[in-house]
Amino acid sequence: METLLNLLTEAGQALVGLLTMPYYSIAILLVWWLAARGVALQRKLIHVRMRGSVPLTLSRVGAGLAAGAALSLVSLAAGGALTAETVLALWAAALVLALLKLRWICMAYAAGVLGIVQAVLAWTDVRSMASGKLSDVIGALQVIDAPALLFLAGLLHIAEGLLVRLQGAKSAIPVFLESKRGKPIGAYALSGVWPVPVIWMVPAADGEGFALPWMPLFGDAAAWSFAAVPVLIGFSGRTATFWPERKAAAAARDLLIYGVLIAGLAAGAAFWAPLAAVAAVLAFALHEGINWLNRMREEGRPPLFVQDGNGVRIFAVLPGTPAAELGLMPGETIRKVNGLPTRCKEELHEALQRQSAYTKLEVVNREGEVRFLQRARYEGEHHQLGLVLAPDDDVRYVAVPGYESVWRMLRNAGAVRRPDAAGGPDVSAAPAEADSAALTEADAGRSDQAAADRNAGQAGAVFAADQLSGRTQA
């Protein structure tokens, strides 16, 4: 009973210290900033947002708290000398790596780099040739408990795999990309950054702390305490050839396997020290291998979100709209509306105006099966369904290729203008006004070429953006 009380007392003190540390607050701000950048990218490309940055931030912070609580329980069996200097070195390494590539903010890269540096310093004995502050820095790096740090990195990737499985597809962002042939295609960006506050059991200083009736995996100290270890785990990927939920499931499986392997090697290093260097190298190399594998999975597969002239392909469905109530899903194709064929967005718009009180849809689902949907239309409800359609050749902005640095995201929110889309109105400058202007003539029943051109300039986003305008049907 006394041991339990000591554990709870020390854990509570560590938790209070965590909440007063700037690292965790900075992590939450970073999560919000990345979510806000995602919203900015959506507005740049499709002129609407699928989800707000604040709800997304809150969901990720909550999931991170749950993951942190689970990992804190594991620390009772693991232990390890994760000192304040170790946490500072970890954060410094992660922030430097993030400036190079945003996806490198993951703890595995930072832990791997620190483990490799420590191994190199041990093999070369550089400290004997250094002096002053450089010698102090090298000394601080040499005392880092690399096996415990890598073990924690493996556990965090197991947690990340579970978080990606639960939240990856739900928070996926629809984006426009440019194919190798220069054609715009639809894709989903699956990304997430979770702040995970971990209360890790560490050897106590100066004989303080509490004794344990068992021996933790890392360390044989006589007394133990708890240290706050605020960390970030992040995931980033894009898919144009898989459904978002399938992509998230595959990514989660890869992360779980990776986490189990790294944690296993780190645990083995507690019994055979050279395994720590192996775990450090693999922590970085295998993570890059996962990213390479994900890219290879996309190679040679046809894009899913393109228009083929046989109907209008759905790219995204806005939550809480008639399309969502009808059960429409990304990747499905609307072939007929109210008995009229819909081979492009202009025909879809015209068919929706044919019946003011009711909408009947003929839809081809992802498996190629035809299904029929119908729904009443109510007064005060806009005539559009709440859809974002797959892009066509008139798309003006596409997401930047590859994984970008923090500085690139600051500069252009991750979107660039297509060089061959210079003509026509620039809807990105004032999307709400452009959408309204484009639909005014169509709502009044005009079908002249100018109105059609303006509608085409929306690249399908008009069917989502106008859903939020609140205008009633003409």
pLDDT at 245: 92
Number of other residues whose CB lies within 10 A of the CB of residue 234? 22
The answer to whether the CB of 50 falls within 8 A of the CB of 316 is yes
The answer to whether the CB of 364 falls within 8 A of the CB of 370 is yes
- Which residue in the block uniquely carries the two structure tokens 């007392």? 9
Domain 312-396+429-462 class, CATH top level: mainly beta
pLDDT tops 90 at residue 124: no
If we measure between CA atoms, which residue out of 260, 279, 231, 193 comes closest to residue 72? 231
The answer to whether the CB of 270 falls within 8 A of the CB of 98 is no
pLDDT tops 70 at residue 450: no
Spatial neighbors of 41 by CB under 8 A, at least 6 apart, are 173, 175, 189, 399, 413, 414, 415
Higher pLDDT: 424 or 102? It is: 102
Per DSSP, the three-state class of 333 is strand
Q: What is the pLDDT of residues 56-89, one digit of tens each?
A: 999 999 999 899 889 988 988 898 887 777 778 8
pLDDT at 380: 54
> How does residue 134 score in pLDDT terms, banded at 50, 70 and 90?
low
As a whole-number percent, the residues of the chain with pLDDT over 90 amount to 23
> How does residue 424 score in pLDDT terms, banded at 50, 70 and 90?
very low
Number of other residues whose CB lies within 10 A of the CB of residue 198? 27
Instruction: Name the average pLDDT for the chain.
Output: 77
Higher pLDDT: 430 or 69? It is: 69
Q: What is the CA radius of gyration of the chain?
A: 27
Q: What is the pLDDT of residues 145-173, one digit of tens each?
A: 888 889 988 998 999 999 999 988 888 88
Q: What is the pLDDT of residues 188-202, one digit of tens each?
A: 988 888 988 888 888
Mean pLDDT confidence for 132-157: 80
The answer to whether the CB of 18 falls within 8 A of the CB of 199 is yes
The Cα–Cα gap between 473 and 357 comes to 10
Q: What is the pLDDT of residues 213-236, one digit of tens each?
A: 888 888 777 888 888 777 778 787
Which residue type occupies 134? Answer: L
The answer to whether the CB of 82 falls within 8 A of the CB of 226 is no
Give the pairing type, strands 387-389 and 397-399. unpaired
How many residues are there in the chain? Answer: 474
pLDDT at 433: 29
If we measure between CA atoms, which residue out of 85, 91, 123 comes closest to residue 107? 91
Spatial neighbors of 117 by CB under 8 A, at least 6 apart, are 141
Model pTM? 0.76
What tokens does 111 get?
A: 């832990």
Q: Where in the chain is the domain with CATH 2.30.42.10?
A: 312-396+429-462
